[in-house]
A = this chain, B = another copy of it.
Amino acid sequence: MIRISEAESRVMHVLWDNAPQDAEAIIAALAGSADWQDKTIKTLLNRLLRKGAISAERDGRRYLYAPVLTREDWQADESRSLLERAFDGRLAPMLAHFTRHEKLSEADVAELRRLVEAIERRQTPRTPQ
C-alpha cells in the first residue's frame, strides 16, 4: 500500500482535481491554501514520484504529473486505518461516533437514510418475491 504523508496528500488533492499538470500549475494551485515555497512543492512531487503515487511524463523541458494512486483508493486506505486503529475494526461504533459527534446537516441525515435503505434493500430483502 502506498503511504503518503499529510503534506504530500495536499499535493495529491491538486492532481486529483485536475491532471495532468506541470509543476508550475501545481504550485499555483497551492499558492492559496498552503504557504509553501516552490522548492518545497518540488520536493513533495519527487517524493510522491519515488513512492509511485504519481507519474511524470516529459513534455519538453517540463514534466506533466498525474496521480497513480486514486483518491478513492487513498480514502479507502485512510478510512480503514482509522477504523482499525481507533475503533478496533468495528464499524457500528465508528458510525455512531460520527453521527453523535459531528454536526449533521439535514442533507447529511437524508443521505444517511437513503444509504441505510439502500443497504437494507440489498442485504435483507424484506418481502421476498
Tell me if A25 is interfacial: C-beta within 8 Å of chain B: no
Binds B, one of A38-46, A50-58, A61-69, A105-113: A105-113
Q: Which of A17-47 contact B (CB under 8 A)?
A: none
Q: Chain copies in the assembly?
A: 2
> Secondary structure of the A side of the interface?
helix
Asked if A123 contacts B106 (CB within 8 A), the reply is yes
Partner of A99, one of B82, B105, B108, B119: B119
- Which B residues lie within 8 Å of A82 (CB)? 78-79, 82
Question: Which partner residue on chain B sits nearest A113 by CB separation?
Answer: B116
Asked if A86 contacts B97 (CB within 8 A), the reply is no
Q: Which 10 A-B pairs have the closest CB atoms?
A: A92-B111, A92-B108, A82-B82, A99-B115, A78-B86, A75-B86, A91-B108, A113-B116, A91-B102, A112-B116
Given contacts A75-B97, A78-B82, A112-B119, 19 further A-B contacts (CB under 8 A): A9-B85, A74-B86, A78-B85, A79-B94, A80-B102, A83-B98, A91-B105, A92-B107, A92-B108, A94-B98, A95-B115, A96-B115, A99-B115, A99-B116, A109-B116, A109-B123, A109-B124, A112-B112, A112-B116
